[in-house]
Homo-oligomer: A and B are copies of this chain.
Amino acid sequence: MSPRRIDPKLATALLEAAASLLAEEGAAGLTTRRLAAAVGTSTTAVYTHFGGMDNLVRAMVHEGFARLHRRMSTVRATADAVADVMALGYAYRANALDHPQLYQVMFGSAALGGFALADGDRQHGRYTLQPLVDAVARATEQGRFRAGDPLLVAQNMWIALHGLVSLELGGYLIDPYDADVCFEAQLRSLVTGAGDDHEAAAASFTRARRRRSPRA
Contacts and interface: CB of A to CB of B under 8 A. Distances in A.
Per assembly, the copies of the chain total 2
A164 interface: yes
Nearest to A159: B163
A117 B156 CA distance: 28
A27 interface: yes
Given A177-B151, A177-B152, A185-B156, A114 B171 contact: no
Given A111-B27, A119-B171, A172-B107, A177 B192 contact: no
B107 A170 contact: yes
B185 A152 contact: yes
A167 B159 contact: yes
Given A160-B160, A177-B155, A189 B193 contact: yes
A159 B186 CA distance: 9
Interface of A: 27-28, 104, 107-111, 114, 117, 119, 122-123, 146, 151-152, 155-156, 159-164, 166-167, 170-174, 176-177, 181-182, 185-186, 188-195, 198
